[in-house]
Amino acid sequence: MPRLSADLGIDLWIKRDDLTGFGGGGNKGRKLEFLMPQVVASGADVVVTCGATSSNFVRQLGAACAMLGLGCEAVVMDAPFEPGFPRASAPPLAEGGNEVLNDLFGVVRHRLPDGSWDELFEGAAHHAAALRGRGRRVFELRIGGSSAEGAYAFALAANEIPDGFDWVVVASSSGSTLAGLAPTLQTRGMRVVGISADPEEENRDDVLRLAREATARFGLPSLTSIDLRFDYVGEGYGVASDAGQAASRQMARREGIVLDPVYSAKAFAGLLDLVARGELTGRGLFWHTGGLPSVFGHPRS
């Protein structure tokens, strides 16, 4: 990215996982490449997952289920939250964005009133049990498609990056993107910095657990250290931050590339801050995870 490199005084590159293309693009397409064969092999006729109403995973899963002739049911909350953290004053918008595509792909949504993430997971388990009770063959997928398979997909993706980068910055939430990228890139001498889209620091444990699962199952290198930052979340998950929106404008106006308000804009705001502080220098790579539809589900700024 020559113009941003000149702005920042570093050599900055970008990985365009926003352009994976499938079901509107973004990082979840890579996970689905390894999750859907499991679903098909199980003989399931319906997939049940959960997430925020504006989840990119639900949207791309909807496309995958459509092309495989499977039902897709998602238990969703507009603004799930973590107890003990301040609730955002501006809840994310539920309409527009991914919801338009979820309609198109025929995703059946079961919208619960806002509650904790644990209540959302329980809601999904309950719904899966109810469908089984009606004779459906259900396959449950974890939030964000984060499992050993999801991490494995990103360990392979890491091989698409040439040597010679000092560091890689990527957005993180349910954890398998970072859990897959970090061990492989670290083994090759790159520093990997995850920027969290959620405030709760326990998410670090999710990344470590997913990396352990992927090591056990696929023999990936083990994750020895993890650098996950919680400083750029702003008001909360799903709510656009001022720094993120400013970073988004800078990316759009200097390089003609669109970030999303929930993940990649905040991750890029983190990158800009860490460069300004002198923590990140030399040749770096921003891993763009996608999320374009969310631009149309948030207020303009």
Ligand X SMILES: *Cc1c(COP(=O)(O)O)cnc(C)c1O
List interacting residues with ligand X (CB under 6 A): 26-28, 56-57, 144, 146, 171-178, 260, 263-264, 289-291
- Minimal distance in Å, beta carbon 112 to ligand X? 20
- Minimal distance in Å, beta carbon 196 to ligand X? 9
**249: which residues sit within 8 A by CB, 6+ positions away?**
none
Distance CA 55, CA 144 (A): 8
- Minimal distance in Å, beta carbon 175 to ligand X? 5
Report the residue number, 81 or 237, with the smaller CB distance to ligand X. 237
- Minimal distance in Å, beta carbon 298 to ligand X? 13
- Minimal distance in Å, beta carbon 31 to ligand X? 7
Report the residue number, 123 or 180, with the smaller CB distance to ligand X. 180
- Minimal distance in Å, beta carbon 132 to ligand X? 26
Distance CA 175, CA 202 (A): 11
Report the residue number, 53 or 177, with the smaller CB distance to ligand X. 177
Residues forming beta bridges with residue 193, ordered by sequence position = 169, 227
**243: which residues sit within 8 A by CB, 6+ positions away?**
232, 234, 266, 269, 273
Report the residue number, 92 or 131, with the smaller CB distance to ligand X. 92
Report the residue number, 51 or 284, with the smaller CB distance to ligand X. 51
Report the residue number, 131 or 185, with the smaller CB distance to ligand X. 185
Give the residue nearest to ligand X (CB). Answer: 291
Report the residue number, 79 or 131, with the smaller CB distance to ligand X. 79
Q: What are phi and psi of 168, to 5 degrees?
A: -135, 135
- Minimal distance in Å, beta carbon 246 to ligand X? 18
Distance CA 174, CA 138 (A): 22
Distance CA 182, CA 188 (A): 10
Residues forming beta bridges with residue 244, ordered by sequence position = none
Distance CA 274, CA 276 (A): 5
Query: Three-state DSSP class for 206?
Result: helix
Rounded to a whole number of angstroms, the CA Rg of the chain reads 18
Check: CB of residue 141 under 8 Å from CB of residue 49.
yes
Closest-CA residue to 146 (of 75, 55, 241, 21): 55
